[in-house]
Amino acid sequence: MSDDTSMNETPTIETHTEAKSTDDRSPASEADADVAGMDDQSIGEETVIEARDLSVFYGDERALQPVNVEIPDRQVTAIIGPSGCGKSTFLRSINRMNDMIDVARVDGELLFRDTNVYGEAVDPVALRRAIGMVFQKPNPFPKSIYDNVAYGLRIQGKDDDLDEQVESALRRAALWDEVSDRLGESALDMSGGQQQRLCIARAIAPDPEVILMDEPASALDPVATSQIEDLIEELARDYTVVIVTHNMQQAARISDKTMVFLTGGELVEFGDTSRIFENPDNQRVEDYITGKFG
Amino acid sequence: MSDAEVVSESDPFAGTSDLDRKRTIGRIFVGLCAASALVGIVALVVLIADVLYQSWGWVTWEFLTYPPSQFAESYLPGGRGAGIYPALVGSIFLIALTALFTIVLGVGAAVYLEEYASEGRLTAFIEANIANLAGVPSIVYGLLGLAIFVRAMQLGSSLLAGALTLTLLILPIVIVASQEAIRAVPDSQRHAAYGVGATDWEVIRDVVLPSALPGIMTGTILSLSRAIGETAPLIMVGAATSMFVPPDSPLGPFAAMPMQIFDWATMPDATFQHVAAAGIVVLLTVLLAMNATAVYIRHRFETEL
Ligand SMILES: Nc1ncnc2c1ncn2[C@@H]1O[C@H](COP(=O)(O)OP(=O)(O)OP(=O)(O)O)[C@@H](O)[C@H]1O
Ligand SMILES: [Mg+2]
């Protein structure tokens, strides 16, 4: 398995960011890219989410070793790692979905736009309005397609021009052409892939800043998966996307940054996806990526 | 061709001679099960047939719309007209009030226990006791109703006291049924709503209750149809056995069908057996109508969307 030298290494948390050659960000995001503290050579992006010594416990069991990471604005950040290493745990801690697990406890800080989301003043409901989520299994409501997309808009009171907003969300989720003539039909009658895109439309309809996705394509066939992948790349123009995936190729294809967790809930490496996949700092990460691990 | 091959090789079904014996045991078992089912069905059919035979010709429009009489002849078709009217109306009011109280209290308690209360010793204790309460004999609830509603709260032997007593009686069953319905709502649905920024209340209102409603309604209606036939608690509360007018207010006295039927059945004049049977037919009809509603609601919501 992993060699002894890497065991003794302190985990390399790569916080330097580099512009990807394929970067086609809008000028606006380039403009506010110059962030203090970044290396000269890096065209830094604004940090949206920052974890500072973030640990999560379930009861007495530690699920995450202290995590330090800065997730940049309007990029796709992939989280990879073997099963049970805490990927979902980390993702859920960003929008405080862990609050719903009675035994879960969080230590350290998670900053969203420089505000600790675990601070006293933060309302988890308000947080989840800003940070949307897409789950592993499509979970549309047993309502019409239209009502599914409109749900978030309605409860957030953003319900003027509802029709337009629903249409726009469905277009952004690359679903409009398939469902425009059956908006009143039950969402449960759609295919799995369509349901998942509907859930993405529901998540983006109220226009959150960040979208968290926990293995959004793992229950889908290859065609539906590649549709979702295209969609995620598209979404990163307007949103910050953090996606958990079991699929290494998927992470390599769609993400700009990659976080690698390894067993024990340790964030072992973080950095540009291209670098991590071509030349990881950490031997264990290399082993994992090349399939020698686990 | 393949047959020939099978024969030429060793028998692939060797060692299966025990199957015949096992199959025989299986048939005996099926027979026993069918016989058990039959006992229940036959008993029910005989009961209903007997009641229908006894009451044949006695369930008339007059029977439904006239107050009772001491004279058996009045109930006869073409007689002066006598019937179950005050008790029928009394039972319907009683059940309507009971339904109101049970739905509010039962769903409220179930939502609290399932969605809000953290899982601790206290909730476990409460839940275990609710389940136990469901098995307490109805006469005990009658005593409780007498002590609390009739005496302590000074409601007297009123419709309200009767309804509150019946509410206590079926509340545990309604709470347990509602809890089960709420528990059956998948967490993924709740997460979907929380994920777009719904509050606890919005999740309950938009996700949990709509999905759990058919289960809650069937549980409630089925226990209400149990309550409508209850006699013992009403006797304890002091409901009238026979009234000439329907109840005029929640605080007024009332008669209910089971007690009226009991009153007729204990009349010395044998003709009243037919009147009692006619009363039973009316009671059973109301009961079946309620159960049919429960089935309809479940079916309706299950096929919808
Ligand atoms: N609700 C929970 N209660 C207790 N322990 C939990 C809970 N959820 C997760 N854990 C534990 O926390 C650790 C990390 O789990 P997590 O679900 O975050 O892993 P994961 O990386 O998402 O795995 P997978 O790839 O299989 O989804 C595991 O050891 C798991 O057993
Ligand atoms: Mg997971």
The Å distance, Cα A240 to ligand 1 centre, comes to 24
SS3 A27: helix
pLDDT at residue A218, rounded to an integer: 87
CB A105 within 8 A of CB A271: no
CATH topology of domain B85-304: MetI-like fold (1.10.3720)
pLDDT at residue A17, rounded to an integer: 39
Chain A residue numbers touching B196 (CB-CB < 8 A): 128-129, 132, 151-152, 155-156, 202-203, 205-206
pLDDT at residue B7, rounded to an integer: 53
Residue A236 has pLDDT above 60, yes or no: yes
Q: Is A88 in the pocket of ligand 1 (CB under 6 A)?
A: yes
Please check whether residue B305 touches A, CB under 8 A.
yes
Q: pLDDT tens, B166-180?
A: 999 999 999 999 999
The Å distance, Cα A231 to ligand 1 centre, comes to 27
User: Under 8 Å CB-to-CB from B186, ≥6 apart: which residues?
Assistant: A139
Residue B144 has pLDDT above 50, yes or no: yes
> In the structure encoding, which two tokens stand for residue B17, read together?
């001679």
Chain B residue numbers touching A140 (CB-CB < 8 A): 192
Nearest to A141 among B189, B194, B199 (CB): B189
The residue among A193 and A1 whose pLDDT is bigger is A193
Chain B residue numbers touching A95 (CB-CB < 8 A): 195
* Beta-carbon separation of B207 and A140 below 8 A: no
User: Under 8 Å CB-to-CB from A234, ≥6 apart: which residues?
Assistant: A172, A174
DSSP codes of every residue in A180-199: TT-TTSBGGGS-HHHHHHHH
User: Under 8 Å CB-to-CB from A104, ≥6 apart: which residues?
Assistant: A56, A57, A58, A98
Pairing of strands A115-116, A12-13: unpaired
> In this structure, what DSSP letter does residue A74 have?
T
pLDDT at residue B198, rounded to an integer: 95
Residue A11 has pLDDT above 70, yes or no: no
* Beta-carbon separation of B191 and A100 below 8 A: yes
Looking at chain A, the whole-number percentage of residues with pLDDT higher than 90 is 68
Residue A216 has pLDDT above 80, yes or no: yes
> In this structure, what DSSP letter does residue A81 have?
-
Q: pLDDT tens, B83-110?
A: 899 999 999 999 999 999 999 999 999 9
The residue among B13 and B153 whose pLDDT is bigger is B153
CATH topology of domain A28-139+209-289: Rossmann fold (3.40.50)
Chain A residue numbers touching B195 (CB-CB < 8 A): 95, 97, 128, 132-135, 203
- ipTM computed for the complex: 0.81
Pairing of strands A115-116, A104-112: antiparallel
Question: Closest Cα to residue B302, out of B181, B177, B206?
Answer: B181
Q: Is A58 in the pocket of ligand 1 (CB under 6 A)?
A: yes
The residue among B304 and B203 whose pLDDT is bigger is B203
CA-based torsion, A44, A48, A51, A56: positive or negative: negative
Q: pLDDT tens, A116-127?
A: 999 998 999 999
Q: Starting at the edge strand that comes first in sequence, how are the strands of the sheet with A76-80 ordered?
A: A12-13, A266-272, A257-262, A76-80, A240-244, A210-214, A131-134
Q: Label residue A74 left, alpha or beta by phi (over 0 means left) and psi (-120 to 50 means alpha).
A: left
Tell me the one-letter amino acid at B187: D
The residue to mutate among A56, A62, A85, having the most atoms of ligand 1 within 8 angstroms of its beta carbon, is A85
Length of chain A in terms of residues written: 294
Residue B3 has pLDDT above 60, yes or no: no
Q: pLDDT tens, B4-30?
A: 454 556 777 777 788 888 999 999 999
Q: Where are the domains of chain B?
A: 3-55, 85-304
SS3 B228: helix
Q: pLDDT tens, A265-284?
A: 999 999 999 999 998 998 89
pLDDT at residue B303, rounded to an integer: 64
